[in-house]
A = this chain, B = another copy of it.
Amino acid sequence: LKKPELRQNLVTRQWVIISPQRANRPHDFEKKENKKETLPRYSPKCPFCRGNEKWEGSAEVLRIGDKKNWRVRVIPNKYPVLLKEGVREWQVSGIKRKMTGIGIHEVIIESPWHNLSPALFSQQQIIYILQAYKKRFREIAQDKRLEQIIIFKNHGEAAGTSLIHPHSQLVATPIVPYQIRFRYEEAERYFDNTGRCVFCQILAEELSAGERIITQNKHFVSFVPYAALSPYHIWIFPKVHACSFQNITLSEIKDLASILKDILARLYFGLDNPAYNYIIRSSPLDISQSDCFHWYISIVARVTKSAGFELGSGMFVNPLPPEESAKFLRNVKLD
């Protein structure tokens, strides 16, 4: 594949330009993430470190492990994007449509240690993290003012992290964000036309093609999407149809932890600790059962930068063919 081609993401209807001829263009700039291991294991200035639990604003809402030797803690975000207290109120006047900024914003502290890269966590540690995600998701889902829960992680400065200590975040919003509503509508349309879940269909075809698969186990498959928006863009799909993350079982959590650990290690060792984001995409809260929507995890390594073209068109340019991304990741040597 030397010539560019456009590929459509069936889930979002977005066209991506796969553009391998761009891969070697020159740059005036260069940048690299630092490895965390050069940092101290404990930082007296870090509100997330074990030993600093009394820090202002770090009163926990959930803890896994005992008080002193905790493994994972969940605390409110000290600078929340939305505030917990209040009622959901609309106000419409001419072109101005607004709503009170209520919601939940929490931080999942993934480790007691300041300097441990998530790629080096034990599988058990990742199980704890996923259990914390599930518990908070289920509890917050009870709040009738809220419509969507987004769990995500920013790793590395280029991925938008402001603090170094490994953590992920949960935001619950009083509306269904349009990206999610749009995906849902597309999935419904696909179901109307074919009687199948578009995600199940993608899964079946990817497993049968094989060339974009990275790894799989009993409950999960990781692969590079056919219309990957950037190099090393990865989807992790549960094999059994389910629309919401909140119903994940313990045996599924174990398999997910195993595949997530594997993928983060492939990124870490294969690409020298790149910045990345991951997001759990789950159905809106008022949909508890759906034949057309399928929850999944999307991982985006921040190895290219979006610029004016992406901003102006909503199209991404991916210089690395997805098949090559997958092959590279499959071949990373893990010890």
Contact = CB atoms under 8 A, between A and B. Distances in A.
A39 to B, nearest CB: 10
A317 to B, nearest CB: 5
A101 interface: yes
A300 interface: yes
A119 interface: no
A7 B97 contact: yes
A26 B162 contact: yes
Nearest to A201: B95
A138 B133 CA distance: 53
A278 B309 CA distance: 9
A201 to B, nearest CB: 6
Chain A: interface size category:
35 or more
A314 B178 contact: yes
Contact of A313 (B79, B86, B150): B150
A114 to B, nearest CB: 11
A118 B310 CA distance: 21
A3 B101 contact: yes
Copies of chain A in the complex: 2
Contacts of A13: 178
Interface string A95-126: 11111110000000000000000000000000
Interface in A146-181: 148, 150, 152-154, 157, 159-164, 169, 171, 173-175, 177-180
Interface stretch (A17-25, A63-71, A249-257): A17-25
B15 A175 contact: yes
A226 interface: yes
A205 interface: yes
Contact of A171 (B100, B163, B305, B313): B313
Given A3-B100, A160-B310, 12 more contacts: A7-B99, A8-B97, A15-B99, A25-B79, A81-B309, A94-B201, A154-B308, A159-B307, A179-B312, A179-B314, A182-B314, A279-B312
16 contacts: A5-B101, A6-B99, A6-B100, A6-B173, A6-B175, A17-B101, A18-B101, A95-B198, A95-B202, A95-B206, A96-B205, A150-B309, A152-B307, A152-B308, A154-B308, A179-B312
Closest 3 pairs between A and B when the two form their complex, measured CB to CB: A160-B307, A179-B314, A4-B101
